[in-house]
Structure 1
Amino acid sequence: MPRNSAVAATSTTESRLIGVTAALATVMVWAAWLIVTRYAMTSDFTAVDIGLLRFVVPFALLAPIWLKRGIWPKGLSLVNGVTMLVGSGAFYTLLVANALQFVPASHVGILLPGVMGVWAVLIAVLLFGERPGWVRLTGYGMVITGIVLLAVLKPGHATGDTILYGYGLVSVGALMWACYTHAMRQSGLGALEAAAFVGFWSFVIMAVVAVFTGTNLAEAPMDDVLLLLVIQGLLAGCVAAVTYGLAVRHIGSTGASAFGSMTPALTALGGVFLLGEAGNLILVLAVVLVIFGVMVASGVFRKILR
């Protein structure tokens, strides 16, 4: 193999390794975020409380970046900037937190990455002209089957309009995050710059909302507040924003979304064993279908078998 080709191959391998590692770290944080958010929304906290605790940490820790680059970085288009803020910032957090009032974390852990993967490929097809082959379409068919199975049978949860309403909120949240994924890739911002941008504006938005709605933070147990600051603020607000940005840059938006396929299993385990949510074979089957469907759609198996 020529020297230049060998160097290029090594560089590609290293880049993919960085992307995969970042994606795995992101998935672990996502699962923890969903579990803790479900716990908070069924205890003493409101969605506004959760939003404040999530974004106050990146607002403060990443202040040197937004002070240097400005609160609206030069070169960031209005469309990409607004899409990033809506897709992963205050509005996304409020929507998913409200959904977790009605839907167990184990269900959201399946729906959010599964529907997000479907939205991501649809956006790629409609806006960027990608043409998925039959293998990817088969994978997304498995994802959709798992989601429909979950929505129709609602394992371990009472039937009714409230859970369907929660499913609808989660589906909208998945669309928002899929849009953020593509906007982040098009924005030209680095991972830390994107996290600082979203963190600044999201905290400002949450603070304004809190003025009108009030908060329960003063009455909440301090241990729970600290838990949320770490999981919501430090990990979800800073660490995951950076690692997901790295994943998008090194393995692409569709590839980064594909690694979200691990979220269902981790969240379902946490929901069942940490929150006492009901689990049965239907939930397991939905998890398996979504995980394997997204992995097939992402081409993971094809690359392993080469």
Structure 2
Amino acid sequence: MNTIFQSSPRKNTLFAMSPLAKGYVAMIAVLLIWSGFALTVRAIGGSSLSIADVMLIRFSVPLLLLTPWAYSSLREVKSIKWIDVLFILCGGVPFLLLASFGARTAPAAYVGTILTGTPVFFAALLSFILYRQKISLKKFLAFILILFGVTAMIVGNAGSPPKSLLHGVAFLLLASLVWAGYTLGLKNTKLSPIAVAIVLSYTSFFIVLVMVLVGILKTNLGVVSFDDALPFILVQGVGVGVVSTIGFSYAVNKLGSIRTLLLGSLSPGLTALLAALILHEPLTIVVVCGIVLSSIGVILSNRVK
């Protein structure tokens, strides 16, 4: 009688996911959140929140939610090198500041394409500079295709690109470089995803708080309504601060930094589509071609050695 209700070991294995499959699932969730990140960063200029407000929300939410695991992660954090900590912190205040500066004058499609398409190039460049990892000719040509796609988006429009757009793209490229450093930091450490989120959120929150107290950044939280702050709480705080940070570091551990960035190349198309639907940004042929070229370059860079 008991055997009737006993589950079959073979059937259970159908629901068991390999570490590689779990990494892909985590990265799919991250892709959706990244698109939301690009849209909310782009929307900062039209909201009553300042960049300091968004960063305080971004880092305070995971700080509070992950407090129960803070003490248990302390021993784990003590075991890593300080240089790797600095790389991890690149994914906090520096990245968000540079990305927000770039998003002020660059459309969301540009934000999504540059921040998810070019980090694979910068990761390889940093690996060559810091660890003397060689870049093959085929991989270099794939990187050129990525940069060509970004360039096509900038110069492909009628007339010369405005200086404001060029400034925005420059900030986004710097943000991409910083993000590539963040992925290298994740790759070189053995921190758990939760420990990474704790290091990033706690340290970054206090950095932003000091910048506000000394007057470097301005905050409007005292006059911001909850309705205005709610999208940023959900996307930046819960989504990017907790789910994305944990999910991305988990995906890097399971898939590797290059393969993870490869999957990230799917985000620009989704971001451009959502920007057209939500923010009513034009989805031109030039933008589509730039996204496609950059995505192909990222894919090829992962396939060749």
Map Cα deviations across residues 115-149 of structure 1 (whole Å, 9 max, x no partner).
Answer: 21110122233333434445433432321110111
Map Cα deviations across residues 218-263 of structure 1 (whole Å, 9 max, x no partner).
Answer: 3223222111101000010010001111111111111111111011
Q: After TM superposition, what 4+ stretches of structure 1 lie above 4 angstroms from structure 2?
A: 132-135
Unaligned runs of 5+ in 1: 1-12
Map Cα deviations across residues 16-40 of structure 1 (whole Å, 9 max, x no partner).
Answer: 2122222221111111111012112
Match of 1:237 among 241, 263, 284: 241
2:277 is equivalent to residue 273 of structure 1: yes
Q: How does 1:112-127 map to 2 (within 5 A)?
A: 112-127=115-130
SS of the residue aligned with 1:218?
A: helix
Alpha-carbon RMSD across the aligned residues, in angstroms, is 2.2
SS of the residue aligned with 1:73?
A: helix
CA contact (8 A) 1:71 1:197 kept: no
TM-score between the two structures when normalised by the length of structure 2: 0.88
Give the residue type in structure 1 aligned to 2:98: L
Asked which structure has the greater CA Rg, the reply is 2
Give the residue type in structure 2 aligned to 1:179: G
CA contact (8 A) 1:32 1:231 kept: yes
Give the residue type in structure 2 aligned to 1:169: F
2:38 is equivalent to residue 34 of structure 1: yes
Shift of the 72–169 alpha-carbon distance from structure 1 to 2, 3 Å rule, reads farther
2:161 is equivalent to residue 159 of structure 1: yes
Deviates more, 1:171-180 or 1:141-150: 141-150
Name the CA distance, whole Å, in 1 between partners of 2:293 and 2:168.
Answer: 21
Aligned residues: 287
CA contact (8 A) 1:113 1:261 kept: yes
Match of 1:79 among 83, 88, 94: 83
2:169 is equivalent to residue 176 of structure 1: no
Map Cα deviations across residues 48-104 of structure 1 (whole Å, 9 max, x no partner).
Answer: 11101111111111112223333992112111112211x211221122112111111
CA contact (8 A) 1:42 1:101 kept: no
Match of 2:218 among 199, 204, 214: 214
CA contact (8 A) 1:115 1:174 kept: yes
Q: Equivalent residue for 1:10?
A: none
Give the residue type in structure 1 aligned to 2:170: G
Deviation at 1:158, TM superposition (A): 8.4
Q: Equivalent residue for 1:3?
A: none
Name the CA distance, whole Å, in 1 between partners of 2:118 and 2:269.
Answer: 15
* Seq. identity, %: 25
Name the CA distance, whole Å, in 1 between partners of 2:75 and 2:101.
Answer: 28
Give the residue type in structure 2 aligned to 1:151: I
Name the CA distance, whole Å, in 2 between partners of 1:297 and 1:92.
Answer: 24
2:207 is equivalent to residue 197 of structure 1: no
2:262 is equivalent to residue 255 of structure 1: no
Shift of the 43–158 alpha-carbon distance from structure 1 to 2, 3 Å rule, reads farther
CA contact (8 A) 1:66 1:200 kept: no
Name the CA distance, whole Å, in 2 between partners of 1:71 and 1:109.
Answer: 36
Q: Equivalent residue for 1:5?
A: none
Deviates more, 1:205-214 or 1:287-296: 205-214
